[in-house]
C-alpha cells in the first residue's frame, strides 16, 4: 500500500531526519513549510533529499492551509514537528510561541477531525514540560511543571492531543522527547553553540566560548535515532504517549569537555561564564526513563553522548573550513 506523510517543520533538524527515514521506507513525503525569505532547506540538502520532498506552503496559525495540505498530500500520517522551539526565545515572544506551539496543535487535530479521522497524528512533545522535576527520572506518569512559555505551550499541545484521542477516537500519539542533537542542530541551541565554537577555536577563528549555567544536567541523544521512535508510534494498533530518551544524564560541562578534548584543547582555557545567559527559571535536571518505548515499540537509542558530540564537532570543523 502506498503511504504518504505530511511533516510540519520538515526543514528543522527532526523534520529532515524523519523525511529521510520515511523516504527510505518508500513513503511519499510532503513538507508543510511557511514562506520565508531566508534559506531554510539546507538540512534537507545536506542529507541529499531536498529534491525528493514535495513542498506545500502554509502556516500552523492558519487552519485552512493545514486542511488544504492534508487534502493535497492525501496523507495517511501527519507528523507535527513545527514549533517555536528555542526556550530563550519563548520569553521574548511568548504569544507567538503559544499560537504556534499550542493552538497550532489544536488546528492540526481539528483539520484531521473535519477531513479524515483515519489520519494518524504524531505530536512532538518535549521534556521541557517536566520543568521543575519531582522525581529522579521522568517517565509518562511524572507530574508536569513547565518552567518557560515554551514548556507551557507544549503542555497544551500534549493535553489537547490526549483529549482528541480520548474524545474522538483519533490515532494521536505524543512523543515526549528529551534533548536530541545532531550536526543539523541550529546554532541557537547549546550543543551546537559549543561544537561550532570548538571548531572555530581550533581553527583560530575565535578564542572563547561564552555560556550560562554549565551545571544543568540533560539527557542527550541523537536526533537520527529519535525519529525512528516517532515512526514506530504511528505503526502501533493503538495510539499512546511515550518518553524517548537515553536514560543517561550529563552536565553541559561534561558535554563541553568531550568536545574540547576531541580536538586536543582544554575547556578551562576558553570557557567564559556569562550571567546574562542564565535562564529566568532554570531547569536543573532532565533525565528520561524510556522503558515504555523500549518495551512497547522495541526502540533503543544507538548513539551515546561522546560519539554524538564528536560527530557534531567534526561536522562543524568541515563547515568552518569551507567558509575559507
126 is catalytic: yes
| Candidate list 27, 150, 158, 226, residue with the active-site label | 150
Q: Would you give the DSSP letter of residue 296? A: I
Question: For residues 221 and 180, is the Cβ–Cβ distance under 8 A?
Answer: yes
| Candidate list 28, 63, 77, 128, residue with the active-site label | 128
| Among candidate residues 73, 17, 76, 80, the one with its CA nearest the CA of residue 49 | 17
HSE-up (13 A, CA, CB side) for residue 218 = 26
Parallel/antiparallel/unpaired status of strands 250-251 and 217-218: antiparallel
| Candidate list 126, 142, 161, 249, residue with the active-site label | 126
128 is catalytic: yes
Distances (CA, A) of 224 to 51, 137, 213, 301: 20, 23, 27, 9
150 is catalytic: yes
Q: Please give the angle made by the CA atoms of 36, 42 and 46, to the nearest 5 degrees.
A: 165
State the cell numbers at 83: 514549533
- φ/ψ of 75, rounded to 5, equals -65, 140
Q: Which sequence positions are flagged as catalytic?
A: 126, 128, 150
Amino acid at each position: 500500500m502506498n503511504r504518504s506523510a505530511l511533516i510540519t517543520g520538515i526543514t528543522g533538524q527532526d523534520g529532515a531526519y524523519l523525511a529521510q527515514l520515511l523516504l527510505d521506507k518508500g513513503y511519499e513525503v510532503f513538507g508543510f513549510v511557511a514562506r520565508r525569505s531566508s534559506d531554510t532547506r539546507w538540512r534537507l540538502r545536506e542529507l541529499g533529499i531536498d529534491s525528493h520532498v514535495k513542498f506545500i506552503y502554509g502556516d500552523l496559525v492558519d487552519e485552512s492551509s493545514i486542511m488544504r495540505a492534508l487534502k493535497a498530500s492525501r496523507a495517511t500520517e501527519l507528523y507535527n514537528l513545527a514549533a517555536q522551539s528555542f526556550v530563550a526565545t519563548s520569553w521574548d515572544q511568548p504569544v507567538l510561541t503559544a499560537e504556534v506551539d499550542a493552538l497550532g496543535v489544536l488546528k492540526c487535530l481539528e483539520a484531521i477531525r473535519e477531513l479524515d479521522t483515519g489520519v494518524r497524528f504524531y505530536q512532538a512533545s518535549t521534556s521541557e514540560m517536566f520543568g521543575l522535576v519531582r522525581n529522579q527520572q521522568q517517565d509518562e506518569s511524572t507530574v508536569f511543571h513547565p518552567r518557560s512559555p515554551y514548556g507551557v505551550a507544549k503542555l497544551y499541545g500534549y493535553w489537547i492531543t490526549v483529549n482528541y484521542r480520548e474524545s474522538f477516537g483519533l490515532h494521536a500519539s505524543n512523543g515526549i522527547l528529551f534533548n536530541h542533537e545532531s550536526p543539523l542542530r541550529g546554532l541557537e541551541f547549546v550543543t551546537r553553540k559549543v561544537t561550532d565554537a570548538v571548531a572555530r577555536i581550533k581553527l583560530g577563528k575565535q578564542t572563547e566560548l561564552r555560556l550560562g549555567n554549565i551545571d544543568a544536567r540533560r539527557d542527550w541523544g541523537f536526533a537520527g535515532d529519535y525519529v525512528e521512535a516517532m515512526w514506530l508510534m504511528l505503526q502501533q494498533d493503538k495510539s499512546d504517549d511515550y518518553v524517548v530518551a537515553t536514560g543517561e544524564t550529563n552536565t553541559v560541562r561534561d558535554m563541553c569537555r568531550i568536545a574540547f578534548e576531541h580536538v586536543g584543547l582544554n575547556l578551562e582555557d576558553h570557557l567564559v561564564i556569562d550571567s546574562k545567559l542564565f535562564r529566568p527559571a532554570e531547569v536543573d535536571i532532565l533525565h528520561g526513563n524510556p522503558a515504555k518505548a523500549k518495551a512497547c515499540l522495541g526502540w533503543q537509542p544507538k548513539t551515546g553522548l561522546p560519539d554524538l558530540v564528536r560527530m557534531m564537532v567534526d561536522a562543524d570543523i568541515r563547515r568552518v573550513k569551507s567558509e575559507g
